Amino acid sequence: MTKDVTILDVSLRDGSHSVRHSFTEAQVSAAAKGLNAAGVRYFEVSHGDGLGGSSLQYGLSAVDELKLIEAAAAQCTTSEVAVLLIPGIGTKQDLQNAVSAGAKMVRVATHVTEADVAAQHIALGRELGLKTVGFLMMSHMAPVEKIVEQAKLFESYGAEAVYVTDSAGAMLPPDVTARISALKNALQCDVGFHAHNNLSMAMANTVAAVEAGATFIDGSMRALGAGAGNTQTEVMVSVLEKLGYNTGIDLYKLIDTANDVIAPLMQQPQEITAGSLVLGHAGVYSSFLLHAQKAAKQFGVDERDVLMKIGELKAVGGQEDLIYEVAQSLVKA
C-alpha cells in the first residue's frame, strides 16, 4: 500500500543562510515557478531566521522578504508559500504582512523547551486561516519525554502539525525514530521532521522519520541550507518513491529546477566542511556556521574551537553575539 508524504521545500528560507540572505525577486520567482510546476505542495520563503530576521545581528536581507513572498506567491497555482516565525524575532504584525503578501502556511519555531512562548502566534495563524505548524528547534537537546510535553503544548494551541527539528544536524537514526514514534503515539495532529546534514545523516534520518510515521518532511534543492545543508529534496523524492511512498512530485521537473535555478545561485557547494562537521559533533545550531567563520577570521582563532566552545555552552538561536565573545575569549586564553 502506497503511503502519502508531504514534502516542504526550504531552499528559499534555510538556503538564505548559505547565500547570506542575498536572494533576489528574480531568483525566488524562478525557483517558485519550478517548484509549482513540479507539484511541491509547500515551500518556505523568508529570511533564514524567519520573518523579521533581517538585522545586523542575524544578517541583513538584500531584498525585503515581503517582496520575495509576493514574487513566490505570484507563481503559485497549486503550491503554497510557507513562512517561518520565531517569536522574539518575528511579530504578529510580520505574520499579518506575510499573509497580505501571499503566505498560506506559518511554521512557528521555538527552542525545544520553550513552546509556551508560541501560543499567541499559533492562535493568530489559525485565525488568519493559515496551515499552522509548531517547529521544535534543536530537538537533540531534550529527552523524548520533554519533546512530547512541548509538542502537546503546540497541539493544544492549535498546531495542525508538530515538527521534530534537528537544527544542529546532530541526531542519528535511532534518535529520530524515538522522537517521531513518541509524538505519533502522543498527538492527534500530523508529525514532521526537518534535517541538517552536518554528520551526513540527513537522508538516513529522513528515512527513519517517515518509517516512524512522519508525514511532513523538509528538504532543500541541492541541499541548500545552513551548515552542510538539509536533506536534498530531489534525492529525497527519489529515495522515498523507491521505498513506496507517494510524494506527488514530478522528479524530472524538480531536478531541472535544482540544476537550472538553484545551482547557479549557490555561493559554494553544500558539503561537509570542517566547520559543519563540528556543528553536528558539538550539537551547534547550523546557522551559527557563517558567524563562527567570520568571528574566527576576525580574531585569528580556529573556527572549530569556537564551535566546540559554543556547543559546551549549549547556545541556542538568538545568541549569535556569544559567538564573537567566545572567539575573543579564545584569543585571551
Question: Amino acid identity, residue 76?
Answer: C
- Strand, helix or coil for residue 36: helix
Nearest CA-CA partner of 286 in 267, 270, 302: 270
Cβ neighbourhood burial of 157 (10 Å; 0-12, 13-18, 19+): buried
User: Which residues are registered as beta bridge partners of 164?
Assistant: 136, 193
Nearest CA-CA partner of 42 in 3, 83, 100, 99: 83
User: Which residues are registered as beta bridge partners of 129?
Assistant: none
CA dihedral defined by 22, 286, 247, 77, rounded to 10 degrees? -30
Grid coordinates belonging to 20:
547570506
Helix 202-211 and helix 173-186: axis angle, to 10°? Answer: 30
Grid coordinates belonging to 50:
524567519
CA–centroid distance for 102 within its chain: 20
**Does the annotation mark 281 as catalytic?**
no
Instruction: Single out the catalytic residue among 17, 21, 121, 140.
Output: 17
**Distances from the Cα of 120 to the Cα of 85, 125, 271, angstroms:** 12, 9, 38
- Strand, helix or coil for residue 94: helix
Nearest CA-CA partner of 35 in 261, 240, 270, 232: 261
- Active-site residues, by number, are 17
